Structure 1
């Protein structure tokens, strides 16, 4: 890709503000253009599912498939149902976020909910029942060594949980010698009650830790990698913390599966089974770490044959990839293809994804700890057609 000259920055505060306003209006206009093109793409593929069209939008905009589906839905809504909102976006009067949530602040949304309930009580009840059926718990790792656990529950249950935690926390906070903050007491109670232990360290835990031999022996401070096996939160951890986990007290009953990444790439494995199971399943998870779909980054839920089993694809590390449930279902949509590109087991594991519109994007399995990540590069596969590899 060729570099372009950078325009000089404004010279005064007033010019900075004026430039920001001008650029914001331009962004809004371009966002409106994306909306119209997205809706037109949807019209051009009447037989394609919403998920398939949304995934194509996601690839083009470097977003996750879930986000792409939402962008497709928003575009169709603006074009078909909210033309005045779209016009305001084109004129730069509102931004893309505001166009996606035209009701604005919380007070207006609550007012709209009250009106909807008043007009159609039965539909509101069904919506609540559907939301209650979709209750779930998720976790998302943060960058500071903590994890955010989110539970989507009926409001009555959520209120009972918070009231119970706060009531008990207020009692413990009043005890002599209690130095924890109220929030810390609530968090510790949350862990203790879910694990059934007074202290969370008494709970048996299985961790999957990918660590270089040098870091394990103390000769390197290269961070290790904590890899979830059941949709939990993983990511890098300091080398000193990894060594501490590996030498922790037997009282914690912590079982740690250590994979020494002292070679350039993890060793491949084969299976005679039609399904990914046992050590091969663990290997693919440890190698891929998150869903292999570009820009998805969701937790691995399913282990997929890149070349399908019914098409003769083997059950092997070379032909395997970790995907979330939604992306694995998307792969079965018409005209979506995945192709393994690497030549042998010692090469980095590359997969090329091709959409119904002819988009091609490559994904690369992350390197084990201890190796410098490759710099992203652009490859011109055909005149004017560039592919980003990383």
Structure 2
């Protein structure tokens, strides 16, 4: 009911005549704030609810039906709507149909797994749009320290996924080695990770443990430009084109050796024109 009422409120605001001296979309932008007040949320959360509600009501009838009957929670319904928002209207309908072919798949599925499943569909339907979204998000990377009182500061940021996976591995390996060597000094694992991070950034820590980015893809994605999404361990599904960029090293600041580990027989077209000249020959160790 809230989703339908939210959509109706937006429609009413959009059709109202603007006050003298104001643009028509001024009232529309304020609808998210009104929703936030009604739901006791922040303005950003109210706007997200407005966007998700409009997509559910207009373009995802099957998902909306499951939401209405209670077989899909608001959290999950809004997650689906958010992930498909950059698709065209006709493609949203197709994604809606695919996601409801086997409703039992939702049972026991985590929110992250559901998000990965929807993103994989989106990346396969419109790979170019998916890459544009990724490029935009990566361009907004940042790192910020915010005073929080009691002589502490909070570190927040947004980084490319492959960098985040590497940092997570480094800190986890350092914490594990300190604990195993009995050098934890009564600290929790998270405290050790925080201390080691500070040491690496300030130069007090000069140990660089060996780490891997585990990128799982088929040989067709790697050598034949297939659009099927790949999977980045520790993050989730990523577009095939982005996976190939990570393998080539394009636009990566970290210069790393790439090792390709085969887990099955490669089924490759032997024609050389199908291979990217920047990638290793089939069967190469690295």
Q: Which is richer in helix? A: 2
TM-score, with length taken from structure 2:
0.48
Q: Which is richer in strand? A: 1
TM-score, with length taken from structure 1:
0.36
